[in-house]
Structure 1
Amino acid sequence: MKIKAIAIYLPQFHPIPENDQWWGKGFTEWTNVTKAKPLFEGHYQPHLPADLGFYDLRLEESRQAQETQAKEYGIYGFCYYHYWFNGKKMLYEPLDRKLKNPQENLPFMMCWANENWTRTWDGLDKEVLLHQEYDFEDDAIHIQHLISYFKDDRYIKVDGKPMFIIYRPGVFPDIQKTIAIWRTAVKEAGFPDLYIGYAQNGAVQYEPKSDVFDFAFEFQPNFLNLPALVSPPRTFVEKAIRRIKKKMKVKVANLHYYIDYSIFMSRQIEKGFRKNVYPGITPMWDNSARRKLNPFILHNSTPEKYKLWLSHIKENYPWESVPENFLFINAWNEWAEGNHLESCQKWGTSYLESTKEILK
């Protein structure tokens, strides 16, 4: 049995005018990454790249090096985050440049990250930089844009159907009609149908009708039914500041939380698998580089623990229940969320080696 590992891919490693305006000239994901600091004893920060360096995804050499590393360690393809705001495209250059270069031949697919862009990096409604809005006329325009990618021979398909994911399906006014528009357009373009799924992450519960989506995938870390959160012991200074703020009736936010990776992994294993939901896994997670207040940290993650979880999925997932043996790894390069398979200065290629060993 050959498992096809698809790694989630973030394209925000090159400057764009909007980020220059919002965050400062030359901002990329590396800006947050390099500013990160440990929040408590034993906390792994900053996460810094090793073999591939601080790359710029506008460069063919950088993208090619990523694909070479991915293929070497058994990754089947990348799932690119796709950003679309009523016709306004964002962070599209890496994938658009790949399409023009046949040497970048790693299979790929797309996931519409249909969230608001906010200053707090949480996709919610505070300090919104770009609103995500929906209408059926835009749905028709959007799918024609997507079809231009679907036509590429490298695009991942199931029985000839382009595979596409919606990150947050529950925010559409009428998701059934939107997908009906898309299916019709895809068939008119010569494909047998669309193979469409959504991310099941537990943060926002969504249960589709059986005739809407073809599949889901488990987006890890799944924030539903988490083990108890731990707040590390505070220093004397931190405690004093909190006491003063409380006396002044200033709202006090928790500075940081963590869950031990082993405990989190055990909880995910215990809950089992769901029908028509492709399995997912995360090698590590720590978004404190992005979120200064209330970050979520999977503490004490190691390649060995990740390998145990990955092995469990391989041996126990009901692969016969799905048309393809897809496994979603979150992520290939979410550096500011401390979530990456790409080699880092602490672990080198150990996570990649673990992936290759289990999936070979």
Structure 2
Amino acid sequence: MKKFAFYLPQFHEIPENNEWWGKGFTEWTNIKKAKPLYKGHVQPNYPLNNYFYSLDNKSTLEWQAQLAQKYDVDGMIFYHYYFNGKKLLEKPAEMLLANADIPMRFFFCWANHSWYRSWEGTKELLLEQSYGCEDDWETHFQYLLPFFQDSRYEKRNNKPLFMIFKSNFGQKNDYLTYLDKRCIDCGFAGLCCIEICESYDENVIQKFIKNKASVTDFVHLREPASMLSCYTKSLSYFPQRVANYIGKKIKRNQYLVRYSGEKMYKVANDTKLNVNNVIRGLCFEWDNTPRHGYRGYVITPPSKESFFKYMDSVQSDEYLFINAWNEWCEGMVLEPTQEKKYKYLEWIKEWSNRK
């Protein structure tokens, strides 16, 4: 089983973020101003040895690649921010492409959603996504092609993997079919398309599969959303639902919703999915309060035993997608932290060594 982790490139300064969020903004800005919101809440969550790296530095990518190799993480899923010709946060991927000596396998997840000022609780549009016509799709393909041709770019049966974050746009089938055709023109067997679904409900998944693009190969059950959707419908969640209702009534906008990762994993481990061409996911914990404060929510970590049981249940799968390598502002981090050190990387390594 190949284990790939989602990779956020929002750790270097860009003009757009300077304009929207203030001079010098990166994800570290939100991390450094985070505060604990309840007793025992670990915030701010700092990187080990205060390593607030910048992703416009080759040495950072080299360190990440070496760390991933050491702990049996096979590669990264780079978020690809592309808005009909306009690129954002592209430097890390382009730096990787330009430096063939960095031993990092990777592929793209096209984060094809519009950007809003949602961190502040508003819906102010910052940058709108649009899809254009075939000429625009060809421009996109020409940008992607050198990455696809790189030997480190993940391919399945000579088809470059390409995930799309948002599936419900009208031109999806035509757009992906065009990219697939152009891949074939350039010597590949096509494009290995992956769409994201966020549910364990088989009816929901089957409906999603019916609406996927004709060239889509896999559906990815993204975490923690898929586990959470299953857990919140279970009987074990009912007491927490009542507690949340009361807490919001009493504390109003000062109440933070918390979920048990251990209970989520139990429900996930007890749920049997009878669907094909699905790639499972994994998330160790979640805490997006650095971005959203009390409007966010927290998922506590599972036990190592529950993690091992889940990994045993998916060990025969071809891929597993981990959320995430470095989503510091959502509390999804494989990189070493001051509090947990290398904990989750060590779990992955220990499980891998048992196989």
For 2:64, the equivalent position in structure 1 comes to 66
Percent identical across equivalent pairs? 35
Q: For residue 279 of structure 1, give the secondary structure of its aligned residue in structure 2.
A: strand
The 1:261/1:144 distance shift into structure 2, 3 A limit, reads: same
| Residue 221, structure 1, aligned to residue 224, structure 2 | yes
Distance apart, 1:109 and its partner CA: 0.5
| 8 Å contact kept, 1:217–1:279 | yes
| Residue 85, structure 1, aligned to residue 83, structure 2 | yes
For 1:112, the equivalent position in structure 2 comes to 110
For 1:184, the equivalent position in structure 2 comes to 181
For 2:340, the equivalent position in structure 1 comes to 347
Q: For residue 336 of structure 1, give the secondary structure of its aligned residue in structure 2.
A: helix
Structure 2 counterparts to residues 278-289 of structure 1, below 5 A? 278-289=279-290
The 1:36/1:311 distance shift into structure 2, 3 A limit, reads: same
For 1:270, the equivalent position in structure 2 comes to 270
| 8 Å contact kept, 2:269–2:313 | no
Query: Quick check: which one's helix share is greater?
Result: 2
| 8 Å contact kept, 1:52–1:66 | no
| 8 Å contact kept, 2:2–2:319 | yes
Structure 2 counterparts to residues 120-159 of structure 1, below 5 A? 120-121=118-119, 126-137=123-134, 138-159=136-157
- Partners of 1:350 and 1:232 lie apart in 2 by 34
Distance apart, 1:309 and its partner CA: 3.9
Distance apart, 1:44 and its partner CA: 2.2
Task: Please report the TM-score for the alignment, with normalisation by the length of structure 1.
Answer: 0.86
RMSD: 2.6
Task: Please report the TM-score for the alignment, with normalisation by the length of structure 2.
Answer: 0.87
- Partners of 1:162 and 1:52 lie apart in 2 by 36
| 8 Å contact kept, 1:118–1:130 | yes
For 1:261, the equivalent position in structure 2 comes to 261
Aligned residues: 335
Distance apart, 1:52 and its partner CA: 7.3
For 2:48, the equivalent position in structure 1 comes to 50
Q: For residue 13 of structure 1, give the secondary structure of its aligned residue in structure 2.
A: coil
Distance apart, 1:253 and its partner CA: 3.9
Q: For residue 258 of structure 1, give the secondary structure of its aligned residue in structure 2.
A: strand
Distance apart, 1:128 and its partner CA: 1.3
Gaps of 5+ in 2: none
Structure 2 counterparts to residues 185-334 of structure 1, below 5 A? 185-202=182-199, 207-209=208-210, 211-222=214-225, 223-227=228-232, 228=237, 229=241, 231=244, 253=253, 255-273=255-273, 274-299=275-300, 301=301, 305=303, 307-317=304-314, 319=316, 325-334=318-327
- Partners of 2:187 and 2:323 lie apart in 1 by 32
Gaps of 5+ in 1: 243-251
The 1:233/1:35 distance shift into structure 2, 3 A limit, reads: farther
- Partners of 1:157 and 1:275 lie apart in 2 by 20
1:100-120 per-position Cα deviation (integer Å, ceiling 9, x unaligned): 112212111110011111111
Bigger drift between 10-19 and 183-192 goes to: 183-192
